[in-house]
Amino acid sequence: MRIETYGHEIEVTPALREYVETKLKRLERHFDQHFEVRTQLSTRKPDYVAEATLSVVGRPPLHADADAQNMYAAIDALADKLDRLLLKHKKKKTDLQRSPRGENAD
């Protein structure tokens, strides 16, 4: 997994970069293959915003964003959203593989 973090009108300190990497590290448990996460940290007064685009080879990119009163809370919310998004995407893929000819049996 490769995590790229940059700021938009905000300086990304080593502490912020390490916090993002620590929080997003848990996404590795969902996929065995290599993927990239591009994270943007910015401010939208009065809130802080964290956005991420997750790219996995052979799959469409997944995007999530979160805002909060401080940057660390925004990063926490972003990690939670990406985690739920990956689980939903993984479940959808599994359901399609199990159904006959990729059709959902409702």
pLDDT in tens, 44-101: 989 999 999 999 877 788 899 999 999 999 999 999 999 998 888 777 765 555 666 5
Q: Is 77 domain-assigned?
A: yes
Q: How many domains does the chain have?
A: 1
Domain span at residue 90 reads 2-100
Q: Is 106 domain-assigned?
A: no
pLDDT given at position 106: 47
Query: Any idea what the CATH number is for the domain that residue 61 is in?
Result: 3.30.160.100
Q: Is 105 domain-assigned?
A: no
Q: Is 87 domain-assigned?
A: yes
The residues near 23 (Cβ < 8 Å, ≥ 6 apart) are: 75, 76, 78, 79
Closest CA to 75 of 43, 49, 45, 44: 49
Q: Is 8 domain-assigned?
A: yes
Model pTM greater than 0.75? yes
